[in-house]
Amino acid sequence: MNARVDIDAPADLLSRIPTIRRGFRLQFEPAQGCHVLLYPEGMIKLNESASEILQLVDGKRSVARIVEELQRRFPDVPGIDEDILAFMEVAHAQFWIELR
């Protein structure tokens, strides 16, 4: 792999493997025109950035691999690595994802 993670993120976060939390489901919702996270009590509408990140959360890729993939897809977005890591922290704090 060609790691290009430019920030001093805790190695622990980069090595963790995120999974969508049990009871949550990521899907495209035509009526909303966007991806959503469905859960028993409701739905979370996702913006394009969150959607791109969560579509790579498959329980196999580490956070570092997700960052690398999105850096490859969007090479002209400055600070994308920081944005992804910040999103992972928020998604974990909101109980949308688990980090193994």
What is the CATH classification number for the domain harbouring 87? Answer: 3.90.930.60
The alpha-helical segments, DSSP class H, found in the chain are 11-15, 48-55, 63-73, 80-93
- The reply to whether 3 falls in a domain is no
- The reply to whether 35 falls in a domain is yes
One pLDDT digit (tens) per residue for the chain, 100 residues: 344 444 445 678 999 999 999 999 999 999 999 999 999 999 999 999 999 999 999 999 999 999 999 999 999 999 999 999 999 999 999 999 999 9
Please give the tally of structural domains in the chain: 1
Q: What angle do CA 90, 76, 70 make, to 5 degrees?
A: 45
- The reply to whether 100 falls in a domain is no
Q: What is the rounded CA–CA span in Å between residue 11 and residue 60? A: 17
- The reply to whether 57 falls in a domain is yes
- By the 8 A CB rule, do 12 and 19 touch? no
SS3 assignment, position 42: strand
- The reply to whether 42 falls in a domain is yes
Residue (of 86, 87, 2) closest to 37 by Cα position: 87
- The reply to whether 5 falls in a domain is no
Which residue range forms the structural domain that includes residue 20?
A: 11-95
- The reply to whether 20 falls in a domain is yes
